Amino acid sequence: MSLSESIRFAVLSSGLSQRQIEEETGLGRGVLARFLSKERDIQLSTADRLADYFGLALVPAEATKDIMLQVVTEVRESAEKARASALSAVEELDALRHRFINRGWHLTPIEGVTHDLPKSLISQPRKKGRPKKSD
State the pLDDT at residue 13: 94
pTM: 0.47
Under 8 Å between Cβ of 55 and 6: no
Q: For residue range 50-80, list pLDDT tens digits in order.
A: 999 999 988 887 777 888 889 999 999 999 9
> Helices 44-54 and 3-13 sit at what angle, rounded to 10 degrees?
50
- pLDDT, average across residues 36-60: 92
- Cα angle at 62 between 60 and 63, to 5 degrees? 70
Where in the chain are the domains? 3-54, 61-119
CATH class belonging to 3-54: mainly alpha
The pLDDT tens digits for 82-133 are 999 998 888 888 888 788 777 777 666 667 666 666 666 665 555 555 555 5
**22-31, 34-43, 49-58, 101-110: range with lowest mean pLDDT:** 101-110
Nearest to 54 by CA among 16, 97, 19: 16
